């Protein structure tokens, strides 16, 4: 059974840093594309980062230069390092497994964690 468990969220002051973790089980993180998707209070879904096969990455403009996605294959865990946090980064952050079928021009998220809340406030 695929499981994703996020941790590391909390209350942080503007300008501060946090590292989110996503422990995976039931599949191998290194063999899959993985993503972080966030949801601000009362708002919709926003994909903030994707890590592709190898070392390729994608970042939304809103977080580029401040957030870094990575994975530890030995721990089967995905991370999101968040620096220079702003009030507008306040959201629930979900870890999600990405499906990209071979020879496909599409991508979707087939498994999600329960989310971890990040609150940026003084």
Partner 1 sequence: SYVLTQPPSVSVAPGKTARITCGGNNIGSKSVHWYQQKPGQAPVLVTYYDSDRPSGIPERFSGSNSGNTATLTISRVEAGDEADYYCQVWYSSSNHPVVFGGGTKLTVL
Query: What is the contact surface with partner 1 in residues (CB under 8 A)?
Result: 35, 37, 44-47, 50, 58, 60-61, 94, 99, 104-110, 112-115
Closer to partner 1 by Cβ: residue 76 or 115: 115
With tokens 């503007």, the residue in question is: 14
Q: Shortest distance, CB of residue 74 to partner 1, whole angstroms? A: 26
Closer to partner 1 by Cβ: residue 23 or 107: 107
Q: Shortest distance, CB of residue 70 to partner 1, whole angstroms? A: 19
Beta strand 3-7 pairing with 18-25: antiparallel
Closer to partner 1 by Cβ: residue 79 or 94: 94
Residues paired with 80 in a beta bridge: 20, 69
The C-alpha atoms of residue 109 and residue 75 are separated, in whole angstroms, by 22
Nearest to 78 by CA among 39, 111, 103, 101: 111
């Amino acid at each position: 059974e695929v499981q994703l468990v996020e941790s590391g969220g909390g209350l942080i002051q503007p300008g501060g840093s946090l590292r989110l973790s996503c422990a995976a089980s039931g599949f191998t993180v290194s063999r899959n594309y993985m993503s972080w998707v966030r949801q601000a209070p009362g708002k919709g879904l926003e994909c903030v980062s994707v890590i592709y096969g190898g070392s390729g990455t994608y970042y939304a403009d809103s977080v580029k230069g401040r957030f870094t996605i990575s994975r530890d294959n030995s721990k089967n865990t995905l991370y999101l390092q968040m620096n220079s946090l702003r009030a507008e980064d306040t959201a629930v952050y979900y870890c999600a497994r990405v499906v990209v079928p071979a020879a496909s021009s599409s991508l979707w998220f087939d498994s999600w964690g329960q989310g971890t809340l990040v609150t940026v406030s003084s």
